[in-house]
C-alpha cells in the first residue's frame, strides 16, 4: 500500500471527523460509525429519541463534502453534495420517494420526474412511521443502488448514502422494520444523550453552533469520498481475523439464546465495515479492537434474541471470547 496515499487519506478523514465534531459535539464514536458506513458503501440506521442530533448529523455530513451529482447541479447553495431529507409518515407513498411520471405538455409524453431518492446523502427521517410498502421501496434502492419505474431502470449515483432514523420501536404509530430489511442496513447505532458537561457546552454555544452549521467547511470533495471508499476496500485483513469473523457468525447461529443468527451477508458487511473502520482509525490493517468496536453496531440488529438478558450480553460474550482468543494468539509469520 502506498504510504503517502495513506497519509493523505488519514488527514482527510481526521479533517472530516473534526469538522462534523464541531457541530455534533461529544459524539466522536458515533461520527466515526457514520463515516464507517459511508466508506463501506453502506447505509446506517440511527435509532434514538427525537432531538438527539440525528438530522444534524446527516446534514453536517452532507455539507462537509463538496461536489455534485454527475448529471445535475448541486441543490444546495453552498455547493456541497446533494442532500435530501424525507420525513416518513404513515401516508407517504413510494412515489413520493422515487418520483413519478407526469405528462409533459410540450413533448406530449410522460416524463419521469425524479424523486428525492436521487441524491448523494439521503436522510430518511422516522423510517418506521411509514408503511411497509414505502419502506421496502426505499430498501430496494439501498440494496441495489437503482430504481425501476415502469419500463425503465434508473441508476442512482455511486455515492449514495442513506441515513435512516427511527424512533424506538415501543413508540406508537410505528411499523417495525422486518428483520430482512434491517439486515440491509450496515449499522444500527443509537446516539444517546450527551454527558452533562457536553450538554452544558452545547447550551452555552447553541447560537454559535447554529451559525457554524450555516457555513460548515467543505473538507472533502466528492472524488475524495469515492477514492476513500476505494481505499477502504484495500485495507489488509489478517486471515486470523477473517477466521474470527467466521467464528462470530457461526457462534451467533449456535447460541442457544439467539433465535436468528447472523447471515453470510451480515458477515460480509462486517468485514467491509471493519476495513472502513480501520481506515478511520488511521490504520491500513484490521486489529482485534476493531472487532470489539464494530460488533455491536454492525451485528446486533441482525440477530433475534430469545430473551432480554441475552439481548444484553449474548453478543458481547461471543465477541469477547474471540477477542481473547486473538489477544493470546501468537504472531504468525516470521
Segment 178 to 237, residues that bind another protein, using CB under 8 A:
236
Three cell numbers, residue 93: 407513498
Question: With binding defined as CB under 8 A, does residue 330 bind another protein?
Answer: yes
- Site for another protein contains 40 (CB under 8 A): no
What 3-state class would DSSP assign to 121? strand
Go through the chain and tell me how many residues it has. 334
Should residue 107 be labelled a site residue for another protein when binding is judged by CB under 8 A? no
Q: Is 76 in the site for another protein (CB under 8 A)?
A: no
Distance of closest approach, residue 259 Cβ to another protein, in angstroms: 13
Closest approach of another protein to the CB of residue 256, in Å: 6
Out of 288, 303, 305, 315, point to the residue binding another protein (CB under 8 A): 288
Stretch of residues binding another protein (CB under 8 A), selected from 83-91, 183-191, 218-226, 318-326: 318-326
Sign of the alpha-carbon torsion through 328, 321, 319, 240: positive
Is residue 304 close enough to count as binding another protein by CB under 8 A? no
Near another protein by CB under 8 A: residue from 238, 242, 260, 296: 238
Angle at 115 between CA 113 and CA 118, to 5 degrees: 110
Phi, psi dihedral angles at 124 (to 5 degrees): -100, 95
- Assess contact for 13 and 228: CB atoms under 8 A: yes
Contact between 250 and another protein per CB under 8 A: yes
Cell of 133: 410498502
Q: How many CB atoms lie within 10 A of CB 111?
A: 10
In the complex with another protein, the residue whose CB is nearer, 128 or 251, is: 251
Task: Characterise 26 by phi-psi region: left (phi > 0), alpha (psi -120 to 50), beta (else).
Answer: left
Cα–Cα distance measured from residue 262 to residue 251, given in angstroms and rounded to the nearest whole number = 9
**Is residue 142 at the binding interface for another protein, with CB under 8 A as the rule?**
no
Q: Which residues of this chain interact with another protein, rule CB under 8 A?
A: 236, 238, 240-241, 247, 250-251, 254-257, 283-289, 292, 309-310, 313-314, 317, 320-321, 323-325, 327-331, 333-334
Amino acid at each position: 500500500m502506498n504510504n503517502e496515499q495513506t497519509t493523505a487519506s488519514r488527514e482527510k478523514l481526521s479533517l472530516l471527523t473534526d469538522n462534523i465534531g464541531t457541530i455534533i459535539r461529544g459524539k466522536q464514536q458515533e461520527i466515526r460509525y457514520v463515516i464507517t458506513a459511508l466508506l463501506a458503501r453502506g447505509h446506517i440506521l440511527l435509532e434514538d429519541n427525537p432531538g438527539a442530533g440525528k438530522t444534524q448529523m446527516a446534514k453536517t455530513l452532507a455539507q462537509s463534502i463538496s461536489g455534485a451529482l454527475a448529471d445535475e447541479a448541486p441543490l444546495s447553495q453552498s455547493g456541497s453534495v446533494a442532500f435530501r431529507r424525507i420525513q416518513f409518515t404513515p401516508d407517504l407513498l413510494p412515489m413520493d420517494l422515487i418520483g413519478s411520471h407526469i405528462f409533459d405538455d410540450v413533448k406530449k409524453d410522460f416524463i419521469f420526474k425524479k424523486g428525492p431518492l436521487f441524491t448523494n446523502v439521503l436522510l430518511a427521517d422516522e423510517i418506521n412511521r411509514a408503511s411497509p410498502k414505502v419502506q421496502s421501496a426505499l430498501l430496494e434502492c439501498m440494496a441495489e443502488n437503482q430504481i425501476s419505474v415502469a419500463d425503465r431502470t434508473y441508476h442512482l449515483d455511486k455515492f449514495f448514502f442513506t441515513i435512516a432514523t427511527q424512533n424506538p420501536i415501543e413508540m406508537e404509530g410505528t411499523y417495525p422494520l422486518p428483520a430482512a430489511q434491517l439486515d440491509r442496513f450496515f449499522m444500527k447505532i443509537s446516539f444517546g444523550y450527551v454527558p452533562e458537561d457536553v450538554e452544558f457546552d452545547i447550551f452555552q454555544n447553541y447560537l454559535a453552533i447554529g451559525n457554524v452549521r450555516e457555513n460548515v467547511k467543505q473538507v472533502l470533495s466528492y472524488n475524495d469520498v469515492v477514492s476513500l471508499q476505494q481505499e477502504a476496500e484495500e485495507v489488509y485483513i489478517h486471515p486470523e481475523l477473517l477466521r474470527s469473523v467466521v467464528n462470530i457468525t457461526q457462534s451467533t447461529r449456535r447460541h442457544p439464546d439467539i433465535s436468528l443468527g447472523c447471515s453470510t451477508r451480515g458477515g460480509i458487511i462486517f468485514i467491509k465495515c471493519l476495513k472502513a473502520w480501520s481506515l478511520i482509525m488511521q490504520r491500513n490493517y484490521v486489529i482485534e479492537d476493531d472487532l470489539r468496536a464494530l460488533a455491536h453496531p454492525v451485528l446486533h440488529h441482525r440477530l433475534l434474541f430469545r430473551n432480554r438478558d441475552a439481548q444484553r450480553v449474548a453478543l458481547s460474550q461471543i465477541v469477547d471470547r474471540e477477542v481473547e482468543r486473538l489477544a493470546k494468539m501468537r504472531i504468525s509469520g516470521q
